[in-house]
């Protein structure tokens, strides 16, 4: 991911918005675990271009999946947009999605960011990295995720709870690469090195490092980007006290995950829904993700934002993200055995 001197553009400039009041003759219904401000500008642009209205329902990821299951064939939802391949796999296993075959989606999205059977497709990428206190940690002491079990990190690590899907997917990826026995040993050491009982979200882990409760934390890049670019001065100042370390650069690459989308089994507006899916991997939509959402584009050739580029280039794990869902149950069991709460 190369550095660019391109100046950040406004949302309007990036999307070329020039609403012309076109008549809306069709619609598509979207259940989204992304907050409205993280997706609505793109949906408005899609409506402007296509004439298809998007009816947006936002909510917590698990609650939206449960809603789809309860509604069954009577669900009004045509699409489910959610975060983490583990959640997308759960939706597939629950029988609430149907496969989509699209040359546009296949050309835009790398195979490892897409369900092998086409039940879901990645839209944007985030990496789960180690952040460290710049005044207390020498980055040369860091290497990879498994190294977090080392004795030098005793009482120095913060991470959110084991019921968090991001951590479950991270552990699932380690199982895929190293096997269950090695991961069991790793988790025992990791849990012993925690500075406190896991609590809060990723931003809370960054804050804990900033105030000295721990020296390292494991977080998604998206959250650090939000803190550094947001209007909350206190959060920004805390985020500025940590630096990003890219684990596993000499081996598997840093663990990455996606936000993704799937066509519901109950979809009544299938053609319109597929059009929206394809729009979300278009160049302009991917540029918007890159500049405004602090996520890496899933589509090759679209540059990341200047903020993300400032953290440097990195090697990403190319493990098929479908494996994260397949190994989720094993990951949760391993975390329970290790006493990760």
pLDDT at position 11 is 36
pLDDT at position 79 is 98
Give the residue with greater pLDDT, 330 vs 35.
Answer: 330
Average pLDDT over residues 268-278: 98
CATH 3.40.190.10: which residues of the chain? Answer: 11-125+257-303, 127-254+323-337
Give the residue with greater pLDDT, 53 vs 16.
Answer: 53
pLDDT tens track for 289-313? 888 888 999 999 999 999 999 999 9
CATH code for the part of the protein at 11-125+257-303: 3.40.190.10
pLDDT tens track for 205-258? 999 999 999 999 999 999 999 999 989 999 999 999 999 999 999 999 999 999
pLDDT at position 292 is 86
Average pLDDT over residues 43-69: 97
CATH code for the part of the protein at 127-254+323-337: 3.40.190.10
Q: What is the pTM assigned to this prediction?
A: 0.90
Window from 52-66, 83-97, 170-184, 291-305 with minimum mean pLDDT:
291-305
Residue 56 — pLDDT band, cuts 50, 70, 90? very high
pLDDT at position 25 is 63
HEC profile of the chain: CCCCCCCCCCHHHHHCCCCCCCCCCEEEEEEECCCHHHCHHHHHHHHHHHCEEEEEEECCHHHHHHHHHHHHHHCCCCEEEEECHHHHHHHHHCCCEECCCCHHHHHHCCHHHECCCCCCEEEEEEEEEEEEECCCCCHHHCCCCHHHHCHHHCCCEECCCCCCHHHHHHHHHHHHHHCHHHHHHHHHHHHHCECCCCCCCHHHHHHHHHCCCCCEEEEEHHHHHHHHHCCCHHHHHHHCCEEEECCCCCCCCECEEEEEEEEECCCCCHHHHHHHHHHCCCHHHHHHHHHHCCCEECCCCCCCCHHHHCCCCCCECCCCCHHHHHCHHHHHHHHHHCCCC
pLDDT tens track for 159-191? 999 999 999 999 999 999 999 999 999 999 999
pLDDT at position 9 is 33
Residue 264 has pLDDT above 60, yes or no: yes
Mean pLDDT score across all residues of the chain? 92
How deeply is 271 buried, as exposed, middle or buried, from its count of CB atoms within 10 A (0-12, 13-18, 19+)? Answer: exposed
The residues near 50 (Cβ < 8 Å, ≥ 6 apart) are 272, 275, 279
């Amino acid at each position: 991911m190369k550095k660019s001197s391109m100046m950040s553009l406004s949302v309007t400039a990036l999307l070329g918005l020039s609403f012309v009041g076109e008549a809306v003759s069709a619609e598509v219904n979207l259940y989204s675990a992304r907050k409205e401000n993280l997706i609505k500008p793109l949906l408005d642009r899609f409506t402007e271009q296509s004439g298809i209205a998007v009816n947006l329902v936002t909510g917590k990821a698990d609650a939206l999946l449960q809603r789809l299951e309860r509604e069954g064939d009577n669900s009004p939802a045509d699409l489910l947009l959610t975060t983490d391949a583990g959640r997308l796999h759960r939706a597939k296993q629950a029988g609430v999605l149907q496969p989509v075959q699209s040359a546009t989606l296949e050309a835009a999205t790398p195979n490892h960011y897409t369900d092998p059977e086409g039940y879901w497709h990645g839209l944007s990428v985030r990496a789960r990295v180690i952040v460290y206190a710049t005044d207390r940690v020498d980055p040369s002491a860091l290497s990879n995720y498994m190294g977090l079990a080392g004795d030098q990190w005793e009482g120095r690590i913060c991470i959110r709870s084991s019921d968090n899907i991001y951590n479950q997917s991270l552990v699932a990826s380690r199982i895929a690469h190293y096997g269950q026995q090695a991961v069991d040993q790793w988790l025992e050491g990791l849990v012993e090195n925690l500075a406190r009982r896991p609590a809060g979200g990723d931003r809370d882990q960054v804050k804990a490092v900033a105030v000295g409760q721990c020296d390292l934390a494991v977080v998604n890049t998206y959250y650090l980007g939000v803190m550094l670019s947001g209007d909350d001065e206190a959060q920004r100042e805390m985020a500025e006290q940590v630096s990003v370390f890219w684990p596993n650069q000499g081996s598997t690459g840093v663990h990455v995950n996606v936000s993704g989308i799937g066509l519901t089994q109950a979809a009544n507006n299938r053609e319109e829904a597929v059009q929206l899916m394809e729009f979300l991997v278009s160049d302009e939509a991917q540029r918007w993700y890159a500049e405004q959402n602090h996520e890496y584009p899933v589509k090759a050739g679209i540059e990341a934002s200047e903020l993300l580029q400032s953290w440097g280039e990195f090697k990403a794990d190319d493990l098929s993200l479908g494996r994260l869902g397949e190994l989720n149950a094993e990951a949760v069991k391993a975390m329970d055995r290790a006493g990760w709460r």
